[in-house]
């Protein structure tokens, strides 16, 4: 008896993508099914970068199909997704993801740097914009320095740190020079850094927002076309209070919050292995339940993560096989997968076409 297409579709619909929470059919990941007698060749395309998952998914599909498994192709592709209000997406950037905390000192910049590197490790083209004018940290974390170049005298070229495109006000000033600017000047400077940088064909631009939910953050969220946001917090009650404010800010400007990252969730003693929840326990889970936003991952309070960021080679780049790196990469896949569930952007910014007589 010949194999039927409907039966193969039913089998594939029973496979759940752990990063989006949807099955392959709901995710519109089934691009093709070819039946040849008792065997089926299937073509699966995930809507997010997933270098670290495609082989596992391929094995799972082959096991589910059993003797009916023919050629199984698993790939991925990044799409551009809708931004807030009537804003137009930026040229050469498919998606902008804002990383916020509401409160300083929770490891937001370290998380943003490792998220960018993790998305790159999954196969995406990634950039990071350091939006903290008063305390830029991405130049040091990403191991890049010096004034950026300009090839045309109009736009500036991003620096490259571990393969990621980087831009920061920190490239324009000395590391110990304070920025004594008022809000409007900061907002204008950030918009210039964003729009005057010659970003090169990015799947994702990560914006490391300054802490807080004041005028600067609100103005940026209203003027910058953002596809989604990520909230970084610790389990501590004080940090969670401010993280909730950041979440509500994004709700007001109609930017979807893709999830919560709980940083410094636990500490394991390097001598005896004892695990202790220094900043409390379960805070992000409570916030997730209250606002219906998933927890994308929890990271340990670990000396190595801090040292590697301070030394200009964040954990994902410094230790590709470390347990913390695997957590960052899982967070990256979940972030991108959650974004892939949003509506796609139909207002793609095309270049102007000028016809001249020659």
Beta strand 228-233 pairing with 257-262:
parallel
Between the alpha carbon of residue 269 and those of residues 69, 272, 274, 303, 330, the distances in Å are 47, 6, 5, 10, 24
**Both tokens of residue 337?**
């997968």
Question: According to the annotation, is 319 in a ligand binding site?
Answer: no
Question: According to the annotation, is 286 in a ligand binding site?
Answer: no
Distance CA 288, CA 56 (A): 28
Question: According to the annotation, is 66 in a ligand binding site?
Answer: no
| Maximum CA extent, the chain | 78
In the beta sheet, which residues pair with residue 197?
A: 156
Given a contact cutoff of 8 angstroms between Cβ atoms, the answer to whether 204 and 121 are in contact is: no
φ/ψ of residue 346, rounded to 5: -100, -5
Question: According to the annotation, is 245 in a ligand binding site?
Answer: no
φ/ψ of residue 309, rounded to 5: -65, -45
Distance CA 9, CA 32 (A): 10
Given a contact cutoff of 8 angstroms between Cβ atoms, the answer to whether 314 and 308 are in contact is: yes
* Closest alpha carbon to 231 in 255, 265, 264, 262: 262
Question: According to the annotation, is 107 in a ligand binding site?
Answer: yes
Question: According to the annotation, is 106 in a ligand binding site?
Answer: yes
Q: Can you list the positions of beta strands (E) in 102-251? A: 126-130, 159-161, 164-168, 202-208, 228-233
Between the alpha carbon of residue 266 and those of residues 211, 244, 300, 301, the distances in Å are 23, 21, 5, 6
Annotated binding residues, written as ranges, equal: 102-109
Annotated binding residues for ATP, written as ranges, equal: 102-109
């Amino acid at each position: 008896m010949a194999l039927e297409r409907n039966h193969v579709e039913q089998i594939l619909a029973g496979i759940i993508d752990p990063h989006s929470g949807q099955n392959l059919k709901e995710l519109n990941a089934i691009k093709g099914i070819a039946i040849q007698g008792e065997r089926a060749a299937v073509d699966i395309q995930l809507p997010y970068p997933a270098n670290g998952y495609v082989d596992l998914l391929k094995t799972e599909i082959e096991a589910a199909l059993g003797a009916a498994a023919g050629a199984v192709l698993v790939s991925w592709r990044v799409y551009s997704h809708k931004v807030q209000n009537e804003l137009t997406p930026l040229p050469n950037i498919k998606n902008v993801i804002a990383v916020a905390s509401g409160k300083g000192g929770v490891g937001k910049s370290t998380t943003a740097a490792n998220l960018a590197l993790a998305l790159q490790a999954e196969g995406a083209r990634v950039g990071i914009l350091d939006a903290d004018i008063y305390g830029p940290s991405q130049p040091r974390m990403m191991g890049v320095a010096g004034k950026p170049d300009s090839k045309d005298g109009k736009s500036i070229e991003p620096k490259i740190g571990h393969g990621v495109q980087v831009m920061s006000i920190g490239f324009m000033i000395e590391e110990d020079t304070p920025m004594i600017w008022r809000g409007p000047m900061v907002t204008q400077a950030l918009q210039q850094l964003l729009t005057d940088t010659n970003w090169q064909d990015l799947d994702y631009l990560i914006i490391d927002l300054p802490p807080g939910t004041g005028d600067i953050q609100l103005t940026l969220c209203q003027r910058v076309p953002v596809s989604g946001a990520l909230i970084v917090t610790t389990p501590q009650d004080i940090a969670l209070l401010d993280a909730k404010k950041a979440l509500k800010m994004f709700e007001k400007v109609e930017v979807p919050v893709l999830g919560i990252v709980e940083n410094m969730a636990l500490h394991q003693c390097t001598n005896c292995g004892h695990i202790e929840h220094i900043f409390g326990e379960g805070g992000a889970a409570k916030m997730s339940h209250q606002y219906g936003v998933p927890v994308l991952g929890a990271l340990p309070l670990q000396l190595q993560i801090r040292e590697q960021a301070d030394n200009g080679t964040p954990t994902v780049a410094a230790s590709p096989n470390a347990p913390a790196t695997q957590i960052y990469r899982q967070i990256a896949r979940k972030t991108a997968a959650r974004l892939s569930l949003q509506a796609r952007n139909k207002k793609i910014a095309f270049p102007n076409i000028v016809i001249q007589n020659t």
